[in-house]
Structure 1
């Protein structure tokens, strides 16, 4: 059963900054290089109801593909080197069809 993995987050960088653009571009390059990642999207929050400004969304065909992504060295390195120091707050949601 496909899994939609989503992460909604706020960066430590100012909106519209070079650092924000670099983070989003580097995330796209790193995460889409991992086998099993499908339909990768980066979205920007447009509601004033949340200060979490961005969303990453991707689909995995099954739990094995999702677990492989989580354990992949590129994902592990991105989380350690970029996510932890540059993300101020986040919420993670993983959905399968009901």
Structure 2
């Protein structure tokens, strides 16, 4: 199992229609990709992090993650929305400790 997380800050004003659209459109598109499980969108509440949001999802294994990563909808979202609307991000992928 892989827990894929991406913490990020958007270029949009807090509470704006553009912010809401990104936080709605992203999950709608990405959760339709085969292999994506337990997708969550979270808002940061700690002052210790510079990131405002997080997308997190689970994959059964590396093969499922690879299908997602190469999927045209994922790549299209990254190219058309992520690259222009995300100001900064940190990506982390975790597997359970044996």
TM-score between the two structures when normalised by the length of structure 1 = 0.97
Matches within 5 A, 1:1-98: 2-98=1-97
SS of 1:24's equivalent in the other structure is: helix
Structure 1 unaligned regions, length at least 5: none
Q: What secondary structure is seen at the aligned counterpart in 1 of 2:94? A: strand
When the two chains are superposed, the root-mean-square deviation of aligned CA atoms in Å is 0.5
Normalising by structure 2, what TM-score?
A: 0.97
SS of corresponding position for 1:47: coil
Moved over 3 A (4+): none
**Unpaired stretches in structure 2, ≥5 consecutive residues:** none
SS in 2 for 1:56: strand
Matched pairs, number: 97
